[in-house]
Structure 1
Amino acid sequence: MAELYADKQIKLFSLTSNRDIAEKIAQVAGIPLGKVSSRQFSDGEIMINIEETVRGDDIYIIQSTSFPVNDNLWELLIMIDACKRASANTVNVVIPYFGYSRQDRIAASREPITAKLVANMLVKAGVDRVLTLDLHAVQVQGFFDIPVDNLFTVPLFAEYYIDLGLVGEDVVVVSPKNSGIKRARSLAEHLNAPIAIIDYAQDDSHREEGYIIGEVKGKKAIIIDDILNTGRTFAEAAKILERGGATDIFAVASHGLFAGSAADILEASPIQEIIVTDSVLSKERVPENVKYLSASQLIADAIIRIHERKPLSPLFSYHSDQEG
């Protein structure tokens, strides 16, 4: 397949945040990863060296802006600049996990909208297109003045649970906070299952006071969220569901950050299995009950469709048997 794209001037490059998913994307697409080196000087400055020509090529740079988010973001910006100065035809960035996307609005006085700032930086650096996976807030697409394609992982998760037989009225899809209702309803529609919501007497910082809206007693519960960070939201939701009579508890998230003591918190919870994509290569210990589903096939298909100027709409009902 590499020969098929050789005359179309497409090149993939991986930076350092998540080499694993980049290699999988390259393998699926049949396009070898380009040669690039990245290093830091003793004071932390980043130096990029592209070790092959990119003149006239359509470049796709794969980089999650996960921990350490600022290093990874700056590495991406510097690589973009290097490609532009080397006369690349287009520079497209593939960001499986888009850091700072949670800072998408002013929630309190004098707060920044950092997601918009990051968008401005990427556009100013010279990006022609952004391809990402499950943005925390879809409105972040509107922060850019260039095309942004936001792929969804719910169909990938749905296929996994359908294969396990977790479908129908015996299953309930649970949003662990009221802001995630749309995501929960999307998975529930795929599984022909009802939804439930965990709400809080005050706000979600008082998770011990959570209560369930919906029926979970005697059902198998699937908690769904986009970002699994400290693990506290999932763990507390699972405890509330256990008290509510759920028989089995599963959890799924698009991005597994597993920050700090998340592994300990989640392993102490009643969650039987946690599913995440490989969008983030966590630097922390990952819980033993975590299983990865690879998003590489989905992202590779999107890259090829973009390059061939084909619509991405077929990918929004995506089917794959690829696993990480």
Structure 2
Amino acid sequence: MELLNLIHACRTASARSITAVIPNYPYARQDKKDKSRAPISARLVANMLQSAGAIQGFFNVPVDNLFAEPCVLDWVRGNLDPDNCVIVSPDAGGAKRVLAKAASTLEEHGARDVYAIVTHGVLSGPAIETINNSCLSGLVVTNMGDKIARCPKIKVIDVSRILAEIGIHARAEMLQMSLFYTPRHISDSHTENV
């Protein structure tokens, strides 16, 4: 809601363009119906953003899907021994304590340290307790979430560099676009016959 208010304020203040950078898109996993009459909440959020005045958002307008992969790889290279490391992906999400179960299974099969790396550390319900009680050596998350839970096992990867680069490129693109839309002076648009 705060983002919608901010976009609306920019639009009513006559901003020429508004680009919404949304590190964690709300309801992104609800992009299709999973049962009859279920809402497609990701579409609803997109419609609200577009109605508020964001020119770039989701679905009917240009969108860039960003990845934290460069920052995650930097963390892996700086913190794990590549000669003694195996990467396992149990699933695309962290539902039903899958990470804790996967860590336990890996430990049973000889893993000394198990780190779980997730982009968005959305830790709800008993997640912190589950992490603390698990054999995970650490849960590595990006700082894209608005609330990163405090837990000794949580390591945070700073992705502000990616977001800053996006801002720089968006600004440069807007400056380039303004060259095509800036009115030219009359003296520049004609030549005199001498």
Q: TM-score, normalised by structure 1?
A: 0.50
Equivalent residue for 1:88? 15
**Equivalent residues of 1:273, 1:291 under 8 A apart:** yes
Deviation per CA, 1:51-95, whole angstroms, max 9, x where unpaired?
xxxxxxxxxxxxxxxxxxxxxxx2211221121111111111121
Quickly say closer, same or farther: Cα 1:262–1:286, change in 2 above 3 A. farther
More displaced 10-residue stretch of structure 1: 121-130 or 268-277? 121-130
1:266 aligns with 2:193: no
| Aligned-pair CA distance for 1:108 | 1.6
2:188 aligned with 1:301 = no
Identity of aligned residues (%): 36
CA distance in 2, matches of 1:99, 1:231: 20
Using the alignment, how far apart are the partners of 1:242 and 1:89 within structure 2?
55
Structure 1 or 2: more strand by fraction: 1
Q: Using CA pairs below 8 Å that are at least 6 residues apart, which structure has the higher relative contact order?
A: 2
Preserved contact between residue 153 and residue 254 of structure 1 (Cα < 8 Å): yes
User: Which one-letter code corresponds to 1:106 in the other structure?
Assistant: K
Q: CA deviation at 1:308?
A: 0.6
Cα deviation 1:160-191 (Å, max 9, x = unaligned): 111234324x32211122xx3xxxxxxxxxxx
Deviations 1:233-275 (CA, angstroms, capped at 9, x unpaired): 2112111222233232111111112212211100111111221
2:119 is aligned to: 254
2:62 maps to what in 1?
Answer: 147
Separation in 1, partners of 2:167, 2:64: 10
Runs of 5+ in structure 2 lacking a partner? 175-194
Q: Per the alignment, do residues 90 and 255 of structure 1 end up closer, same or farther by CA in structure 2, a change over 3 Å counting?
A: same
**How far did 1:298 drift?**
0.8
Helix, strand or coil for the counterpart of 2:161? helix
Larger Rg: 2
2:53 to 120, 126, 132: 126
Distance (Å, rounded) in 2 between the aligned partners of 1:271 and 1:231: 16
Return the letter of the residue paired with 1:81: H
The separation in 2 between residues aligned to 1:263 and 1:242, in whole angstroms, is 20
Give the Cα–Cα distance (whole angstroms) in 2 for the partners of residues 107 and 245 of structure 1.
38
Residue aligning to 1:21: none
Aligned residues: 174
**Deviation sequence 1:34-66 (CA, Å, 0-9, x none):** xxxxxxxxxxxxxxxxxxxxxxxxxxxxxxxxx
When the two structures are superposed, what TM-score results if normalisation uses the length of structure 2? 0.81
What secondary structure is seen at the aligned counterpart in 2 of 1:104? coil
- State how 1:183-262 maps to structure 2 within 5 Å: 232-262=97-127
Where do 1:55-204 residues align within 5 Å? 74-130=1-57, 143-168=58-83, 170-177=84-91, 180=92
